[in-house]
Every structure is written in structure tokens, then in C-alpha cells.
Amino acid sequence: MGKIDKQKEAIGYLKIIFSILVAIDLSLVAWIFNNSDTTEGLRLIVPSIIVLLVTIALIVANKVILKKIDKLEDM
């Protein structure tokens, strides 16, 4: 397997992780909106923190994917 094929496989794997993170992020945001009236205190703060962390992970994954795509152009 050549370097280009390895890069393509890594990009594909990262895209799967990115998609899973998007699904988790959207699900948590929907849960927060649906339960914000009945949930209070720590039960609302913890999911909000998790949404923040998942969103940061999405940003990092996006940057890694874009760097790998740029590296693929140089090969």
C-alpha cells in the first residue's frame, strides 16, 4: 500500500469519526433543548460541558482532516 493510499484510508477513518461526533453533538443539543424546562442544576450543566468538549473535538478533527487533504495534494 502506497503513501497516497494510506493517506486516503486515514482521511476516510477520520471522516467516520467526524460523522459520529456530529451525531453525538446534535443528539446532546436536542436533548438539552427538549429537557431544559424540566431539568435543573447539574443535570443540565454536565451535558452542556460535554457538548462543548464534543464540539472542540469536531473542530480538531476537521483541522486534522484538512491537513491530511493538503498533504495528499503534495504527494
| pLDDT the model gives residue 57 | 95
Please tell me the pTM assigned to this model.
Answer: 0.81
From CA 17, how far away is CA 12, in angstroms rounded? 9
Centroid of chain to Cα 37: 27
From CA 41, how far away is CA 31, in angstroms rounded? 15
Average pLDDT of the chain is: 90
Centroid of chain to Cα 7: 19
- What is the DSSP code (8-state) at residue 1? -
From CA 32, how far away is CA 65, in angstroms rounded? 29
| pLDDT the model gives residue 4 | 85
Do 29 and 51 contact (CB within 8 A), yes or no? yes
Q: Where are the domains of the chain?
A: 3-74
